[in-house]
Amino acid sequence: MTAVEVISANLDYLLLGSWPAGPLGGMALSVVIGLTAALLASLLGLAGGIVLTLGSPLLRRLVAVSAALLRAIPVVMLIFWCYFLLPVLFAIDVPGTLTVIAALALIGGAFLTQAVHAGIAAIGAGQWQAGLSLGFSRWQTLRLIVLPQALRIMVPSFVNQWITLVKDTSLAYIVGVAELTFVASQVNNREQVYPLPVFATVALLYWLWCSGLVWLGARWEAHYVRVGHK
């Protein structure tokens, strides 16, 4: 068999895993993990950034320290914590996919917390004063005046973090979740003949996915520039 034949014979498996006969896997599972983790990380980051802006001193300290800790440790370590410890602590069987999503969402959220906080801080004090003097509460000023402007500044941070998250879905390989990278190593072990073409194909799939995100991010930013300060 040539390399092309090996790839095309395994393409379905690389893209979908053993679905529909078995559970979803391959690139489809990577997409599910990536999308869920990106959504959760964005919500966590937004919440964290807002707490760092409006929270009580104790709460701010708590969020700042836990986010700094999460940013300082490798994703692999956090995946280990979630994968091996959650079942021990709660005496329940947590599926590998969920533990990976939890780990990725926590780390992504920690980085986005920093980005959201910095974005909010970049909006001038005059905007806050204007909002407060109009009789808005601090929360209203943040939600109606500061955050809409700050989100524009944060677009590149969010897009970069989503790209990092997409690439980090491949870490699920370490705990044996059947996403794209794991499935590729299975194909490689089974076929044994064309390791380079197999992994190059997988790299190309990830590259298309990430490059698509880069392109969307650039368009999104350009849109904000065109619309201007509306």
Partner 1 sequence: MTPPAWLGYGWLEPHFIGWMLQGAALTAWLALLVCGLATLLGVLLAAGYEQRWRSVRLAVRAFLSLHRNTPLMVQLLLWYFGVAGLLPEAVMLWLNAPHEVTLAGWTLAWPSFEFVAALIALSLYSAAFVAEEIRAGIRSVAPGQHAAALALGMTPRQVFRHIVLPQALRVVCRPLLGQYLGVIKNTSLTMAIGVAELSYSSRQVESETLLTFQAFAVATLLYLLLVLGAQLAGGRARPTLGGGR
Q: Which residues lie near partner 1 (CB under 8 A)? A: 69, 72-77, 80-81, 84-85, 88-89, 163, 166-171, 173-174, 181, 184-185, 188, 194-196, 199-200, 202-203, 206-207, 210-211, 214
Pick between residue 136 and residue 206 the one whose CB is nearest to partner 1: 206
Element (H, E) at 114: helix 96-122
Cβ pair 7, 198 in contact under 8 A: yes
Q: Which is nearer to partner 1, 157 or 185 (CB)?
A: 185
Rounded to the nearest whole angstrom, what is the least distance from the CB of residue 75 to partner 1 in the complex? 7
Query: Would you say 55 or 217 has its CB closer to partner 1?
Result: 217
Q: Which residue has the tokens 């076929």?
A: 191
Q: How many Cβ atoms from other residues are within 10 Å of residue 54's Cβ?
A: 14
In which region does residue 91 sit, left (phi positive, over 0), alpha (psi from -120 to 50) or beta (all else)? left
Tell me how far, at minimum, the Cβ of 129 lies from partner 1, in Å.
31
Nearer to partner 1, 1 or 85 (CB): 85
The minimum distance between CB 120 and partner 1, in angstroms, equals: 21
Could you tell me which of 171, 119, 153 has the C-alpha nearest to residue 229?
153
Nearest residue to 10 via CA among 229, 201, 214, 212 = 201
Min dist. Cβ of residue 223 to partner 1 (A): 22
Smallest distance, Å, CB 167 to partner 1? 4
**Residue placing its CB nearer to partner 1 in the complex, 130 or 208:** 208
Question: Is there a contact between 6 and 201 (Cβ–Cβ < 8 Å)?
Answer: no
